[in-house]
């Protein structure tokens, strides 16, 4: 007698980088009706997505949903993913990775800004009275996928068959299978101070050449580059990647320039190790020098369950 498993369909965490994105973080109002409304909305998200995406099938629309630690039990009633917990503040000698609240993350992506806008409008209409917006950040693609510091962003992302192994939980946590951990941080840049550096100084901090994105060796002083500090190996020497879908945001008129960091990972400890190395330093005291010009305003952790799980919530 053969047994069959319910198919697990991951969310589109590996959707391609688009020209526009909205990062929407919400707090769920703690009432039974609010939780019920949120649960119903998440269960019906595919229908809402189709309603908007049909307007332009070439827009490459995608929406990924992440659920925070504080709301997981009340919202899902399901076993907790093994590593799910609130973002832990990391305090270095000079810089701090702050921890900020958030129950639900919607990572909304499309080649068209109006498609993102319309999906968010209809989504918040459904959630009216049940949630409060904590943060809404609109990102855009900047030339050849560069950040506002002028460097190509996301070069170290896994590609092809390496993506699922880096991003999607498998047999190590059967209750969370097909899901992914998400960490978001909203950074603002002191752009004038950054531009006062020479190109060579900027390249040493990043660990790559600015024009053609070639890797550079670290300085002999022991100060590691941003690239090196974000390269994580386990005790067996195996390197672990994450999938970044970072986007610039800002307004020259208001003097705001920033990068919205969003990392998807199969292993939450990998991103946490990256942040420890950046903010505390490796060795301690030699922090990532990019932090002298980039300040995190937020820090929140979520879990993106499989789309199969989301659809079963109601």
Render pLDDT for 243-290 as a digit per residue (tens, 0 to 9): 999 999 999 999 999 999 999 999 999 999 999 999 999 999 999 999
Q: Which residues are catalytic?
A: 153
7 in any annotated domain: no
Q: Is residue 209 part of a domain?
A: yes
Structural domains of the chain, count = 1
pLDDT at 7: 58
Collapse the DSSP code of 37 into the 3-class scheme (helix H, G, I; strand E, B; otherwise coil) and give the result. Answer: helix
Query: Coil, strand or helix: which one is 199?
Result: helix
pLDDT in tens, 54-81: 999 999 999 999 999 999 999 999 999 9
CA atoms within 13 A on the CB side of 66: 29
CA distance 78 to 42: 15
- Flag whether 242 is in a domain: yes
| Alpha-carbon distances, residue 227 vs 19, 126, 216, 232, 295 (angstroms) | 24, 41, 9, 10, 18
CA distance 288 to 165: 27
Is 107 contained in some domain? yes
Range of the domain at 218: 20-311
Query: What share of the chain has pLDDT > 90, as a percent?
Result: 91
In a domain, 112, yes or no: yes
Alpha-carbon distance values, 131 to 40, 52, 127, 184, 301 (Å):
13, 21, 6, 19, 18
- Asked, for residue 5, whether it belongs to a domain, the answer is no
Closest CA to 311 of 8, 24, 102: 8
Q: Is residue 9 part of a domain?
A: no
- Respond yes or no on whether the N-terminal peptide bond of residue 197 is cis (omega within 30° of 0): no
The per-residue pLDDT for 131 is 98
**Mean pLDDT of the 196-208 span:** 98
β pairing state of 104-110 and 20-28: antiparallel
* Both structure tokens of 256: 């705001």
> Does residue 192 form part of some domain?
yes
Please provide the average confidence, as pLDDT, over all residues in the chain.
Answer: 95
Kindly state the tokens that stand for 275: 């942040």
What's residue 6's pLDDT?
43
Query: Residue range 208-230: average pLDDT?
Result: 95
């Amino acid at each position: 007698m053969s047994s069959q498993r319910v198919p697990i369909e991951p969310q589109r965490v590996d959707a391609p980088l688009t020209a526009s994105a909205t990062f929407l973080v919400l707090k769920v109002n703690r009432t039974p009706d609010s939780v019920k409304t949120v649960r119903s909305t998440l269960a019906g998200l595919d229908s809402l997505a189709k309603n908007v995406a049909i307007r332009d099938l070439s827009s490459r629309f995608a929406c990924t949903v992440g659920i925070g630690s504080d709301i997981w039990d009340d919202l899902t009633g399901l076993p907790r993913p093994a590593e799910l917990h609130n973002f832990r503040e990391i305090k270095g000698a000079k810089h701090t990775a702050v921890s900020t609240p958030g129950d639900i993350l919607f990572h909304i992506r499309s080649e068209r800004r109006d498609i993102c806008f319309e999906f968010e409008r209809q989504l918040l209409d459904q959630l009216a009275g049940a949630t409060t917006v904590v943060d809404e950040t609109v990102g855009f693609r900047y030339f050849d996928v560069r950040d506002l510091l002028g460097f190509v962003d996301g070069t170290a992302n896994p590609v092809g068959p390496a993506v699922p192994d880096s991003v999607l939980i498998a047999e190590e946590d059967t209750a969370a299978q097909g899901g992914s951990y998400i960490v978001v941080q909203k950074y603002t840049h002191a752009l004038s101070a950054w531009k006062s550096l020479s190109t060579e100084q900027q390249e040493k901090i990043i660990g790559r050449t600015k024009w053609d994105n070639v890797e550079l060796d670290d300085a002999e002083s022991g100060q590691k580059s941003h690239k090196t500090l974000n390269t994580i190996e386990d005790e067996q020497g195996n390197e672990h990647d994450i999938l970044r879908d970072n986007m610039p945001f800002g307004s020259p008129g208001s003097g705001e320039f920033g990068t919205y960091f969003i990392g998807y990972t199969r292993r939450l400890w990998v991103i946490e190790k990256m942040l420890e190395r950046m903010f505390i330093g490796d060795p301690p005291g030699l922090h990532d020098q990019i932090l002298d010009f980039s300040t995190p305003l937020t820090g929140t952790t979520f879990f993106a369950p499989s789309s199969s799980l989301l659809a079963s919530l109601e």
